[in-house]
Structure formats: C-alpha cells, structure tokens
C-alpha cells in the first residue's frame, strides 16, 4: 500500500504528516512538515492564496524528509460553521434478497446524503447510530447484514459544514497543487490517534483544544453520538493575556506556554516575570499568579461550554472513560485537575504516541505532543479507509469469480451430452413434464454463461 498524507490546516499551524503501516500494525511517520498558518481564522480559510502558500511549505518539508512525491492528501476540517443533526431513514428490502445484504445498508446510508439541508450547507459525514429491522431495534454489536427482514431503518448522526468554507479549503489545497482524497472532521481524526476501542466502548468525550476552535466528540458503545465545534480556544486566551498585560501578541503566547497555569493557587504569588519594553520603554513586570488568573477565567468559560455540550449529547452519565483532552491547549499546566473540577468527570491528557511506531524518520518524542493528534489521526483515517477499500475489492473479486469446472463423466463426451439434452428439450421422452425439461435447459444455459465469464 502507498503512503498516506494527512494535512492539518489549523488556525495557528499547518502540519503535514506522511505515514505508512508498520510491521507491528502501528503507524510509522516517515515525513513531517510544519509552518505558521497564514490566512486561516478560527479553523476557516479566509485567504486562499496565503493558505495555499503555507500548505506548500509544510508539504515540501514533509516530502523532502520522506523522499516521497505528495499528490493526494486527507484534510482535516473544523470551524464554527460545523453543525450536526439527527435523522431517521428507512428503505424496503428487495424481494429477491432473502436477508439484508451489504448493498442494502450502503443504499440506506447513501440516501442520507440527499436529505434536505439549510441553504449553503453540505454533508461531511454520516454516522449510523442504530439499525432497526421490521421495527425491531438491533443491539449495537449486531450487524444488520445477514438479518432477515422487509424494512431496514436507522438513526443517523449527520455532520454538515458551510459550502463556501468547504470550497475555500478545497481551493487552497488545489492551489497548492494537491488533490483531496477526503475531508475529515478534526475531532474524528483526533479520536483515532488518542483513543482506542476500550475508550469508545466504555463511553468517552474527546475534547481537542486547538488554537482557534475547541472540538468535541462523544463516543458510547463504540459509536459516535455527538459532535460540536466551539469558537473558543488557545488564541482567545492569548488575546486576553495581551490585552490585560498590555504586551505584544507573541509575548503573550510565550507567557502562556512557558508560565501559564489554570490554577492560580498552584503558583507562587511572589514569582514575577519581566517582559522587555518596546524600544525605550521600561520592562513590564507581571505576576505569575495574575497570569494564572487571566488564564483561569477564559479556560473556565471554555470548559463550561464543553460540559454543556456533553450534557446535550445525553450521555453524560454513561461516559465511564471520562474526558480525554488533546490539542495544543491540553499542555496547559494543571488543566487536567481544572477540567475535572469544572466538568465533573475523570479527565486525562491524550497523546498519539501509543499508536506510533518508534522507527519512523521523525523524532518520536516530537510527535507525541497532543497538538499533533489531528494530523496523525488523519494518517490513521486514510490507512484504514484504503485498507477497507482493498479488502472490499478482494471480496468482490472472490464473490464474482467463476465457479471451477467440475469433473464429472460428462466431460469425457461433451458432444454426446449436448446432443442428448437438445433432443430432450425438443422431445421430452423421459416421462417428465415440460416444466422440468425447461428448468434443466435454463440451468445449462446459465452454467455455460458463468463458465464463459
């Protein structure tokens, strides 16, 4: 299988990852490139040409490291324009199907892409929640394929995005000389790199705190139940620090990442940070506790909205695995403890290192940062999608392969057999009725066609 390329177009960074499946089943990253994101605001591409130039730089660095010519990419998408809704669909099973087939399930899923949406909206993902056969709901671990029934129904979770914003992403990628294999909701990609089947089965809320947005995905019984994108994240905290401390933006970002904390009581109130003044101005002195107070106020607002989205999902009491924080914001000091206080659920920090093979070209320690969860998750998404396509194609070939020729006595005298059957069709002398003779004749015709394919 060829290498897979994941492209994370974030608000603060654009990162490109080139990966492949290692022998141990994990992901080997063989190429990596990162650059500042220019032209992107809160996950939405505003300036297509500026974004395309940033994409070119990130992809060129990854391509050079991997010695691989990148042509197709899996792209992550977020932004406050992302919405989700529920829908219920149904189809009738054809009479010739004695039981529900894979094509019936796929037809029902495909039908969801034609539901009525608000003007300017486009479907990104369709996730089945549960299947119902003849008004009898199946358990989540039972596939509808192979179940006998006349009517197949299902509840769906549908993710949509603004068409114009989707076009901007596609135009920026194409402007950079690349082709999009698939557009993937970022929390779905992040979940692939920091969660496993046990987490999703037990029930878990993934919270990806990025630069421009905070992405949420709720899983229960292995099924994605709820998705949401909040337009509040790390950049808002940086702006709060800049305005309150009256310093430059890059100074505020540096303060946040090096000295920031969510709990003012956890830092020494006597610790002071000196910020160089502009030109001939005197340096500014900022208390570490004051800095923590600014961060706490904004982070509390973000986490309260996260808690509200978890409540909206209806699965708050069924999340045995609690909350998993990832993204660049997950490295904030004391955020785990603060999230548990605000949301009221067990919390841990999710990193993509458990899915990574250590033999890649990129430093393993660098990739284990939670800010790379989305990009690595896009590589995993692409690998799983293409492996599934290969498996499906091989099954189709096996199913459509002609039956091997049997070795009965009739092969020794094929001409006499043909002649004998022709005479039987014309003159049924063996005592059978006409219907039986015609059945034999039709069976012979179909057998010959099959053997000829």
Q: What is the pLDDT of residues 132-168, one digit of tens each?
A: 999 999 998 899 999 999 999 999 999 999 999 999 9
346-402: pLDDT as tens digits: 999 999 988 888 776 677 777 889 999 999 999 999 999 998 888 877 776 665 556
- Interhelix angle 249-259/288-313, rounded to 10 degrees, is 80
Q: What does the pLDDT read at residue 414? A: 47
Nearest to 60 by CA among 12, 15, 1, 3: 15
Give the residue-averaged pLDDT of 41-61: 94
Give the residue-averaged pLDDT of 403-429: 46
Q: What does the pLDDT read at residue 270? A: 85
Count of alpha carbons within 13 Å of 87, Cβ hemisphere only?
A: 21
Higher-confidence residue: 255 or 277?
255
Q: What tokens were used for 424?
A: 């039987």
331-352: pLDDT as tens digits: 999 999 999 999 999 999 999 9
- Quote the mean pLDDT of the chain: 87
Give the residue-averaged pLDDT of 428-435: 46
Give the residue-averaged pLDDT of 119-129: 94
Q: What does the pLDDT read at residue 366? A: 77
Q: What does the pLDDT read at residue 444? A: 45
How does residue 409 score in pLDDT terms, banded at 50, 70 and 90? Answer: very low
Q: Which of 29-38, 217-226, 343-352, 408-417 has the lowest mean pLDDT?
A: 408-417
Higher-confidence residue: 357 or 17?
17
> Parallel, antiparallel, or unpaired: how do β-strands 72-77 and 4-9 relate?
parallel
CA dist., res. 359 & res. 346, Å (int):
33
- Confirm if 294 and 246 have CB atoms less than 8 A apart: no
Q: What does the pLDDT read at residue 422? A: 43
Judge whether residue 301 has pLDDT over 90.
yes
Judge whether residue 426 has pLDDT over 90.
no
Q: What does the pLDDT read at residue 428? A: 45
Q: What does the pLDDT read at residue 1? A: 63
Task: Give the Cα-Cα-Cα angle 111, 112, 118 (nearest 5 degrees).
Answer: 130
| Residue 51 φ then ψ, to 5° | -65, -40
Q: What does the pLDDT read at residue 400? A: 58
CATH code given to domain 83-161:
3.30.1490.110
* Separation in Å, CA 135 to CA 91, 106, 108, 226, 353: 12, 19, 16, 24, 44
């Amino acid at each position: 299988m060829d290498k897979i390329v994941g492209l994370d177009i974030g608000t603060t960074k654009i990162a490109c990852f080139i990966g492949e499946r290692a022998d141990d089943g994990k992901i080997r990253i063989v190429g990596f490139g990162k650059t500042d994101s220019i032209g992107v605001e809160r996950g939405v591409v505003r300036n297509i040409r500026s974004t395309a130039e940033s994409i070119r730089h990130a992809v060129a660095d990854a391509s050079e490291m991997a010695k691989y010519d990148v042509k197709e990419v899996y792209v992550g998408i977020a932004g406050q324009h992302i919405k989700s809704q529920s829908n219920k669909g149904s189809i009738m099973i054809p009479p010739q199907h004695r039981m529900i087939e894979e094509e019936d399930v796929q037809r029902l899923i495909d039908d969801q892409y034609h539901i009525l949406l608000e003007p300017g909206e486009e479907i990104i993902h369709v996730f089945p929640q549960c299947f119902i056969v003849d008004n009898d709901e199946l358990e989540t671990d039972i596939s509808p394929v192979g179940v006998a029934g006349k009517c197949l129904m299902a509840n769906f979770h549908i993710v949509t995005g603004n068409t114009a914003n989707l076009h901007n992403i596609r135009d920026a990628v194409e402007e950079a000389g690349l082709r999009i294999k698939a557009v993937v909701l970022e929390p779905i990609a992040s979940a692939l790199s920091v969660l496993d089947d046990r987490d999703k089965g037990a029930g878990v809320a993934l919270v990806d705190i990025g630069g421009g947005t905070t992405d949420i995905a709720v899983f229960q019984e292995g099924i994605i139940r709820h998705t949401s994108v909040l337009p509040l994240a790390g950049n808002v905290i940086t702006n709060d620090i800049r305005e309150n401390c009256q310093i430059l933006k890059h100074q505020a970002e540096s303060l946040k990442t090096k000295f920031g904390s969510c709990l003012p009581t956890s830092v020494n109130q006597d610790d002071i940070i000196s910020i160089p003044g502009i030109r001939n101005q005197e340096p500014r002195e900022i208390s570490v506790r004051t800095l923590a107070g600014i961060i706490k106020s904004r982070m509390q607002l973000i986490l309260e909205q996260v808690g509200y989205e978890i409540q909206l999902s209806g699965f708050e009491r069924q999340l045995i695995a609690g909350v998993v924080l990832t993204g660049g914001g997950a490295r904030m000091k004391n955020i785990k403890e603060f999230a548990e206080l605000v949301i009221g659920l067990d919390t841990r920090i999710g990193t993509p290192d458990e899915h990574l093979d250590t033999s890649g070209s990129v430093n393993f320690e660098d990739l284990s940062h939670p800010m790379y969860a989305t990009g690595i998750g896009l590589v995993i998404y692409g690998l799983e999608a293409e492996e599934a396509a290969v498996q499906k194609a091989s099954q189709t070939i096996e199913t459509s392969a002609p039956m091997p020729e049997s070795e009965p006595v009739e092969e020794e005298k094929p001409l006499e057999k043909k002649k004998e059957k022709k005479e039987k069709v014309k003159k049924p002398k063996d005592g059978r009725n006409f219907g039986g003779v015609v059945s034999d004749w039709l069976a012979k015709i179909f057998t010959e066609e099959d053997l000829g394919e």
